[in-house]
Chains A and B, each alone.
Chain A
């Protein structure tokens, strides 16, 4: 990915201010703030149970935080109507969350059918194009989610997340449960779509390769707080957990991949 080549972005598309999330007495997030810039790939990392998914749910408006607010395109997320929200954000859920009673193409056409009055032929053309964009053959369209492999489910869910051409894509663990080759393919696709469609991407992951090769900036969640910086600076961080996280035995491969992808950029 030519992530390093991209020009610096300045306009904020999504910002969270002072997010506090609590479950009973357990505090998951204390005063988390972040800004995502238009067109960038923003990574959210952290250990298991550090509240990555809760933060994602808060950012997309599925969870009302105990305190703080989320602004999407300058507006409070809960004040944005469902139709507008659907055209602003697309979400790739961890397990795909494809509707099992619908075929892949019908999954993609569902939001298109609900929010536009395009004739069925046009809807199908658009669905076929989204499948192509997500790197799937149009023939896959008539298959049902139960007939797809793990990587295909991610791609199909990706195509559905792109259905209404959202401005910001939220990806929850896009490479989890995938073999390394398929995972690299998904990483490449994310980078490509970010470049060509200009779509902003927020990716929640603990896949170091995704973080190292793809993300412009990374927010690391530790002990309910977030540390946001470019990866180069995070690599030099002296916070013990972040240091261990980015320099552990598994980080070596990711670091090599980063050198490869950024070396020629």
Chain B
């Protein structure tokens, strides 16, 4: 407590000439505590006497005092305590020291079962919450359309610009990349059968039907779904949502509806854009890998795909968008108080939105297969 020197503090346990007394010299601080305990134990093995001389102790801190108090309560006599150490010793010895409580022990197997049960319950509650929230959002949207004055157009247009226009570069780049990946795989797999020309069909069909919309939806879930959760979550944690309610304004109409409508407008447009970029990417790679000119490529692609491929892809976009928007806003409103809860809910919202998008996509695949589209 007295002085910290630049050298590491040191502690020496000395045994007096007559051999009946132990003397501590130097610093008894948190850094020398482990050493002190060791050497004291060794010292006491040799000596019978239970006295400890502190007259040459230069510095003492609270952990050191704690050790001395423990010794004192085990009938060790502390002698020649310096006056400046006495106050500290009195303070620490005067504390009512209780051990830290141990968290209750639960066997591993029980913990697993508890976790499983909690997860199942949470999943069930989550499902109910989603269904309820979807209902509330739907009713709020219908209400907004029935009362056009409450349709907040500036708000919606801001959302369209943020979730859509700002996402153009990244979505376009991703679509091109995905087309390149599919084309490379297609050429490699189809070449042994002499069918590398079919790569064009492969790229065009998979981009239009699946990849365009899926990649766009995942990107938008990561970009805008998380932003919805974080924006609404921060407002929730700063009591801004409560302030809205007190003013008689519905957070659902003010915050959720514009976001959901905005993203439902944006995602189909982004998907259309991603489709075009994907086809352009295919044309580019077709030239490089197959030596097909873009004109030939598009001529070929025109025969490979029909309208249903394009519309199947585009049909899914607003549904995915609705899911992403609803999940994002729902988790934002779930934030409670603290800042870490914003982070937790944002993670959950993105994971859940992407998960649901992919599950829905799988279901749509089966459905369209059965419908023969």
Contact residues of A with B, CB < 8 Å?
A: 73, 84, 87-88, 100, 105, 112, 115-119, 122, 124-130, 132-133, 137-139, 141-142, 146, 162, 164-165, 167, 196-199
B17 at the interface (CB under 8 A from A): no
- Chain B contributes a number of interface residues (CB within 8 A of A) equal to 31
Would you give the shortest CB distance from B85 to chain A, in whole angstroms? Answer: 11
Bits for B86-99, please: 1 = Cβ < 8 Å to A, else 0.
01100110011111
Binary per-residue interface labels of chain B (38-76) against chain A in the complex, 1 for a CB within 8 Å, 0 otherwise:
000000000000000000000001110010000000000
A146 contacts across to B, CB distance below 8 A: 338, 340
Report yes or no: A129 in contact with B100, Cβ–Cβ below 8 A.
no
Contact B99 A138 (CB under 8 A): yes
- State A132–B103 Cα separation when bound (angstroms): 19
List residues of chain B with CB within 8 A of the CB of A199: 1
With A125-B66, A165-B62 already in contact, the answer to whether A117 and B100 are too (CB < 8 A) is no
Known A128-B100, A129-B95; further 15 A-B contacts with Cβ < 8 A: A84-B4, A88-B4, A125-B97, A126-B30, A129-B63, A129-B66, A132-B96, A133-B95, A138-B100, A139-B98, A142-B102, A162-B62, A165-B61, A165-B62, A197-B91
For the A-B complex, the count of residue pairs with Cβ-Cβ distances under 8 Å equals 91
**Would you mind naming 20 contact pairs between A and B with Cβ atoms under 8 Å apart?**
A100-B338, A112-B30, A115-B30, A115-B31, A116-B34, A122-B33, A122-B34, A125-B99, A126-B30, A126-B62, A126-B63, A128-B100, A137-B98, A139-B98, A142-B103, A146-B338, A165-B1, A165-B30, A167-B4, A199-B1
A87-B4, A100-B340, A198-B1 known; A128 vs B98 contact (CB < 8 Å) = yes
Q: Which are the 4 A-B pairs with shortest beta-carbon distances?
A: A165-B61, A138-B98, A141-B100, A132-B95
Q: Which of B3, B31, B96, B98 contacts A116 (CB 8 A)?
A: B31
Q: Does B226 contact A (CB under 8 A)?
A: no
Residues on A with C-beta less than 8 A from B61 are 165
**Distance (Å) between the CB of B278 and the closest chain A CB?**
42
For residue B92, which residues in chain A have a CB less than 8 angstroms away from its CB?
129
Contact A84 B100 (CB under 8 A): no
With contacts A128-B98, A138-B101, A167-B1 taken as known, whether A196 is within 8 angstroms of B31 at the C-beta atoms is no
The one of B4, B34, B62, B66 that contacts A117, using a Cβ cutoff of 8 Å: B34
Chain A nearest CB from B1 CB (Å) reads 6
Contact across chains for B97 and A128 when beta carbons are under 8 A apart = yes
Shortest distance from the beta carbon of A206 to any chain B beta carbon, whole Å: 23
Closest B residue to A95 by beta carbon equals B339
- Contact indicator B99/A116 (Cβ below 8 Å): no
Known: A124-B99, A132-B97, A138-B99. A118 touches B66 (CB 8 A): no
Query: Does B62 contact A129, Cβ atoms closer than 8 Å?
Result: yes
